[in-house]
A = this chain, B = another copy of it.
């Protein structure tokens, strides 16, 4: 069976592009980015174009095998690596990495799914435009993966998630047919929204092979500021003020707690962290993008912060005086996940609640955690403007990290997710479900929604060819 499938795969993409574990080290494809799980693939196939992707899907469907689409393999929820069975085919899109066409007058660019995000950003920049999707893994994640997981990042406040940046897709269905809708229309009400159904479905409904993306004019100037605040409530007050005063100019609004920055200070002592000596518990990084020059933008941002200081919303603040100072501020913010990793093991969450309830969520959950785990070390940071926090627990300093995880990980997850649910929130704001959260989903998602999702999966991929087990968990009999 598997010999026949391998033969069909070789016929589909050429023998050189079918990698097998007996001949090659496949660990880069088999292990997830966080090194949470290592699977085993029957083969890794690397198609060169959409027709080859379709042929691979048909070969797997005919053989009754399943496949796992993979881009940069930088996902955080174990969604793009094979299971342990050794029977799954990893479909790597990495060779399909061409920018197909940039249409300046339509403010759009069509790209193949395997383009690395940074490559798309660069193509836009070279033509004088902005492609605003921006996230930590941008140097290695692919746009296909960004769309399959509806990636978020630091510019969502103004530009939306990956979903909001996509005008159209090309998708290979579970039957190996090609749906092509790349013509870059901004309005098209001719039927169901297939585009958004595929976006965020984590490769379980179809394989995204290309996309037409929105471009934006480059802002004339960008100015960043850093503020210390007394609590999350004050940060939310600053957010509201900034939204009222700056409108669409407010392109970033990140929250960081003191401990997150202390980890950065410890592991990256060369970085200058603004206001860190002021002993405030929370800090905000905010960014204004403007169609005016940087002096005007700076003045506008100073006005907002002046008003916030007068109202005691902000304790202290610094407005970057140059592009390099702005970059330094962002660099501090972006170093938090790395500092966390340097510090040791941790329990990550990627939650969202309505911004009106997020201060209450933090206060309540902080208290519950402190009660359950005395001295808990909480790294709390993220995209406050979107109601999205990475609310992480760092294992105790010098302790046995693995033992801490064994003892506490499940308890911590349950405590945090229950609190999220009480506040009407989501247990996965931007990372997706993958395998890692598939077992938690039924507890926190409405049964009606799950039923609708299962019906859709069954309708579009009745044989379970595409990334089975992801999002919805293992198929149950009758489904």
Residues of A within 8 A of B (CB): 103-108, 149-150, 152, 156, 158, 160-161, 163-164, 173, 177-181, 183-194, 196-197, 199-201, 205, 216-217, 219, 236, 240, 243-249, 289-291, 300, 352-357, 383, 386-388, 424-433, 437, 441, 444-446, 448-453, 455-460, 471-472
Return chain B residues, CB-CB under 8 Å to A173. 448, 452
Q: Could you say how many copies of this chain the assembly holds?
A: 2
Q: List 14 A-B contacts (CB under 8 A).
A: A104-B240, A158-B248, A173-B448, A188-B352, A188-B428, A189-B430, A190-B427, A192-B471, A193-B197, A194-B452, A194-B453, A197-B197, A246-B291, A247-B289
Return chain B residues, CB-CB under 8 Å to A216. 247
The answer to whether A449 and B197 touch (CB under 8 A), given A156-B187, A291-B246, A433-B191, is no
Complex Cα spacing A300 to B453, Å: 48
Is B187 in contact with A152, judged by CB distance below 8 angstroms? yes
Is B247 in contact with A217, judged by CB distance below 8 angstroms? yes
Is A354 in contact with B183, judged by CB distance below 8 angstroms? yes
Residue of B nearest to A212 (CB): B354
Question: Which 10 pairs across A and B sit closest by C-beta, in order of nearness?
Answer: A248-B248, A459-B459, A183-B424, A105-B356, A196-B196, A188-B426, A187-B429, A106-B356, A247-B291, A106-B354
Is A452 in contact with B179, judged by CB distance below 8 angstroms? yes
Residue of B nearest to A291 (CB): B247
Is B177 in contact with A161, judged by CB distance below 8 angstroms? no
Residue of B nearest to A199 (CB): B193
The answer to whether A185 and B247 touch (CB under 8 A), given A192-B197, A192-B200, A192-B201, is no
Return chain B residues, CB-CB under 8 Å to A386. 186-187
The answer to whether A186 and B388 touch (CB under 8 A), given A249-B291, A456-B459, is yes
A116 to chain B, nearest CB (A): 21
Complex Cα spacing A288 to B239, Å: 24
A191 to chain B, nearest CB (A): 5
Return chain B residues, CB-CB under 8 Å to A236. 105
Complex Cα spacing A225 to B348, Å: 51
Return chain B residues, CB-CB under 8 Å to A455. 459-460
Is A191 in contact with B453, judged by CB distance below 8 angstroms? yes
A226 to chain B, nearest CB (A): 21
A63 to chain B, nearest CB (A): 22
Residue of B nearest to A184 (CB): B354
The answer to whether A185 and B387 touch (CB under 8 A), given A246-B291, A441-B190, is yes
Find A354's partner among B185, B383, B424, B460 (CB 8 Å cutoff).
B185
A471 to chain B, nearest CB (A): 6
List 16 additional A-B contacts (Cβ < 8 Å) besides A106-B354, A196-B196, A247-B289. A106-B387, A108-B354, A152-B189, A160-B164, A177-B448, A183-B424, A186-B355, A189-B426, A190-B428, A193-B201, A194-B453, A246-B291, A247-B248, A247-B291, A248-B291, A456-B456
The answer to whether A149 and B456 touch (CB under 8 A), given A103-B354, A197-B197, is no
Return chain B residues, CB-CB under 8 Å to A248. 158, 247-249, 291
The answer to whether A355 and B105 touch (CB under 8 A), given A196-B197, A433-B191, is yes
Is B243 in contact with A449, judged by CB distance below 8 angstroms? no
Is B243 in contact with A189, judged by CB distance below 8 angstroms? no
Return chain B residues, CB-CB under 8 Å to A451. 177
Complex Cα spacing A183 to B427, Å: 13
Is A433 in contact with B189, judged by CB distance below 8 angstroms? yes
Find A431's partner among B107, B189, B472 (CB 8 Å cutoff).
B189
Complex Cα spacing A383 to B387, Å: 33
Is B387 in contact with A187, judged by CB distance below 8 angstroms? yes
Residue of B nearest to A431 (CB): B189
Return chain B residues, CB-CB under 8 Å to A244. 217
Return chain B residues, CB-CB under 8 Å to A191. 200, 433, 441, 445, 449-450, 453, 471-472
Complex Cα spacing A245 to B457, Å: 45
A283 to chain B, nearest CB (A): 20
Residue of B nearest to A355 (CB): B106
The answer to whether A205 and B192 touch (CB under 8 A), given A106-B387, A181-B449, A459-B455, is yes
